[in-house]
């Protein structure tokens, strides 16, 4: 059975600085797509810094990378992520009449994802593959061959 953690989304100063580049800038994206976790919890789950994980709540799922929090910064069982797209996917729609959905103390589970194939390896694999029949037909038609 998956272990449940408590997620606390919030704003960070690094996120605030990154907004000057825009929400699609690398600094902002890095900050809002990184889950901070107690190093002991990471070790227990076999996670290393930079591993990709799927967070799941009652409301949805989000895939982010994980990083260890500074020593003593987060107790075991508590997670932190900066407000952004990923944290919003985990919040429910009910605002309880306040206009703001519950964003603190979300129960989430974590699933380690397989490491993505590095772009250079993916390109090498693609160049070594024989096109499927449907792809060959499309190529032949574009070259004027039948």
Per-residue pLDDT reduced to its tens digit, 4-30: 898 888 777 665 566 666 667 777 777
Please state, in angstroms and rounded to a whole number, the distance separating the CA atoms of residues 91 and 10: 13
Please state, in angstroms and rounded to a whole number, the distance separating the CA atoms of residues 48 and 65: 10
Span 4-115 CATH architecture: Beta Barrel (2.40)
Tell me what pLDDT residue 124 has.
53
Tell me what pLDDT residue 119 has.
55
Per-residue pLDDT reduced to its tens digit, 78-116: 999 988 888 888 886 665 666 565 666 788 999 999 865
Q: Where do the structural domains in the chain lie, given as residue ranges? A: 4-115
Please state, in angstroms and rounded to a whole number, the distance separating the CA atoms of residues 28 and 13: 11
Tell me what pLDDT residue 129 has.
47
Query: Three-state SS for 24?
Result: coil
Question: For residue 109, what is the enclosing H or E element?
Answer: strand 106-112
Tell me what pLDDT residue 146 has.
42
Q: Could you write out the DSSP letters of every residue in 61-79? A: EEEEEEEEPPTTTS-TTEE
| pLDDT > 90: percent of the chain | 34
């Amino acid at each position: 059975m998956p272990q449940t953690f408590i997620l606390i989304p919030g704003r960070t100063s690094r996120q605030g600085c990154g907004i000057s580049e825009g929400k699609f800038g690398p600094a902002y994206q890095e900050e809002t797509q990184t889950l901070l976790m107690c190093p002991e919890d990471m070790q227990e789950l076999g996670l290393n810094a930079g591993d990709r994980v799927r967070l799941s709540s009652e409301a949805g799922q989000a895939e982010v990378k994980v990083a260890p929090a500074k020593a003593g910064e987060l107790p075991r069982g508590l997670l932190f992520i900066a407000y952004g797209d990923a944290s919003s996917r985990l919040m429910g729609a009910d605002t309880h009449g306040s206009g703001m959905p519950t964003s603190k103390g979300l129960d989430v589970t974590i699933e380690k994802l397989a490491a993505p194939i590095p772009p250079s390896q993916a390109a090498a694999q693609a160049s070594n593959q024989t096109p499927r029949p449907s792809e060959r037909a499309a190529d032949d038609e574009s070259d004027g061959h039948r």
